[in-house]
Amino acid sequence: MTKCFRSHVTLGAALLLAGAMSFAQDGAATYKAKCAMCHGPAGTPSAGMQKAMGIKPVSDPSMRTLTESQIAATVKNGQGKMKPVTGLTDAQVKDVAAYFKTLK
């Protein structure tokens, strides 16, 4: 997997355009648009979210061990309190799963 994510420049714009699917092409943009509101801007959910919904930060050991395909499956099928994330192509699911793995 290439580590070539042009993340930070496009993040602000991605937030503004959250929901504009044609824009959310790379993993970082998809993450901002579809995951960050629950999982936090860098993979650490707010304390409230962690408590209310039981979302773990990406630094948690159980998150660290997830494989890219497990993450992709969670995005597509949901898991526990997380509903399936809709409106993504297979390529976008793959990209966002790969991006999720890069979060520390």
**Residues of span 52-71 touching ligand HEC by CB under 6 A:** 53-55, 66, 70-71
Structure tokens that stand for 87 in this block:
């409106």
Q: Does 94 bind ligand HEC (CB under 6 A)?
A: no
Q: How many CA atoms lie within 13 A of 38 on its CB side?
A: 13
Residue placing its CB nearer to ligand HEC in the complex, 12 or 70: 70
Token duo for residue 4: 């070539």
User: Which of 28, 32, 94, 100: binder of ligand HEC (CB under 6 A)?
Assistant: 100
- Nearest approach in angstroms of CB 87 to ligand HEC is 10
Q: Tell me the CA end-to-end span of the chain in Å, nearest whole number.
A: 17
63 close to 56: Cβ distance less than 8 angstroms? yes
Residues 95, 31 contacting (CB under 8 angstroms): no
Provide the minimum distance between the beta carbon of 56 and ligand HEC in the complex, in angstroms, as a whole number.
Answer: 7
Is 98 a binder of ligand HEC (CB under 6 A)? no
Contact with ligand HEC (CB under 6 A) among 81, 84, 87, 104: 81
